[in-house]
Amino acid sequence: MQPSNNQGIVMIDTPQKPTEVLELQKELQAKGEVKYVVNTEPHPDHFTGNYFFQAPVLAHKGARNAILKYPLQALVDRTNELDLEGRPLMHEYTIKLPEITFSDWLAINLGEHTIELIYCPGHTPSEAVVYIPQEGVIFSGDNVVYKVKAWLHDALPEEWIASLKKLRALEADIIVPGHGDDICSMDYLSQQEALISNWTKAVKSAIKAGLNEEQALANIGNPDPFPMPKGCKAMAPQVDKMIIEHLFQLYRE
């Protein structure tokens, strides 16, 4: 998503598929120059496309560290698997790291807009949201995913809920979610919060009942009934397993 501005474009996350980058760049040409790229988190569906943009990349310092550790070959293999047509564009691929990092808050002042980057740990420990006060818009990253399954495999659930409360206090009407087919209103924050606590409650009671991860997976039911986000339907069976393993690690002690 790109809020446009008479002084240029701030690109929030970059496409995972090189062919989608090309399509997007055609569209962007008519609108202006990309001045900055922001990564809201260190998962490949948010930073893989950085390489195809000249503009400096900004992210939370923890996101930079996580991207720095990301195995290049695995990223290239996964991208090639997702985007057959895009393979020729990957020949000289390297991971483009965030060059500018922040801890709690950073503002980009561009034209008449102030674009705030706010540290909001949750979906990942280094998640950031982008807030544009003049427009009353929040680009939430994957801290909000609209009517698609939330991934908690790398999450800090308590921090996530606290971050959603922080978002609720911002003056905004519109949330552009990290995944999902539509934008949503601030009302959705409470639903997102409920889905996260459904998961933590379910896993904590499985641990209390003495179940192991496998038994929990078989018995946990459906804490988040939403479908998988577009493009990762095939991963559905793995995701619950990854979430349960991660939450067991967090709550076992």
User: Is residue 246 part of the contact set for Zn ion (CB under 5 A)?
Assistant: no
Judged by CB under 5 A, which of 142, 193, 213, 240 binds Zn ion? 142
Q: Which is nearer to Zn ion, 209 or 236 (CB)?
A: 236
> Chain centroid to CA 154: how far?
11
User: Is residue 43 part of the contact set for Zn ion (CB under 5 A)?
Assistant: yes
Alpha-carbon gap, residue 34 to 127, rounded angstroms: 22
Q: Which is nearer to Zn ion, 32 or 44 (CB)?
A: 44
Q: Which is nearer to Zn ion, 120 or 211 (CB)?
A: 120
- Interface segment toward Zn ion; rule CB under 5 A; list 28-36, 134-142, 230-238, 243-251: 134-142
Shortest reach from residue 89's CB to Zn ion, in Å: 23
The radius of gyration computed from the CA coordinates of the chain, to the nearest angstrom, equals 18
Question: What is the total count of residues that contact Zn ion (CB under 5 A)?
Answer: 2
Shortest reach from residue 43's CB to Zn ion, in Å: 3
Alpha-carbon gap, residue 186 to 4, rounded angstroms: 22
User: Is residue 60 part of the contact set for Zn ion (CB under 5 A)?
Assistant: no
- Interface segment toward Zn ion; rule CB under 5 A; list 35-43, 62-70, 74-82, 109-117: 35-43
Alpha-carbon gap, residue 168 to 162, rounded angstroms: 10
> Chain centroid to CA 196: how far?
15
Report residue 51 as tokens: 């390489």
User: Is residue 96 part of the contact set for Zn ion (CB under 5 A)?
Assistant: no
Shortest reach from residue 114's CB to Zn ion, in Å: 26
Shortest reach from residue 8's CB to Zn ion, in Å: 27
Long-range pairs of 174-177 with CB within 8 A, sequence gap ≥ 24: 174/135, 174/136, 174/137, 174/138, 175/137, 175/138, 175/139, 175/140, 175/144, 175/146, 176/1, 176/12, 176/137, 176/138, 176/139, 176/140, 177/140, 177/142, 177/144, 177/145, 177/146
Q: Is 235 helix (H, G, I), strand (E, B) or coil?
A: helix
Shortest reach from residue 215's CB to Zn ion, in Å: 27
Q: Which is nearer to Zn ion, 2 or 40 (CB)?
A: 40
- Interface segment toward Zn ion; rule CB under 5 A; list 40-48, 104-112, 217-225, 236-244: 40-48
DSSP designation for 211 = -
Q: In this structure, are residues 187 and 215 in contact, taking their beta carbons and an 8 Å threshold? A: no
Phi, psi of 97 (to 5 degrees): -80, 155
Q: Which of residues 204-233 bind Zn ion (CB under 5 A)?
A: none
Shortest reach from residue 167's CB to Zn ion, in Å: 17
- Interface segment toward Zn ion; rule CB under 5 A; list 16-24, 73-81, 140-148, 228-236: 140-148
Shortest reach from residue 145's CB to Zn ion, in Å: 9
For Zn ion, the binding residues (CB under 5 A) are 43, 142
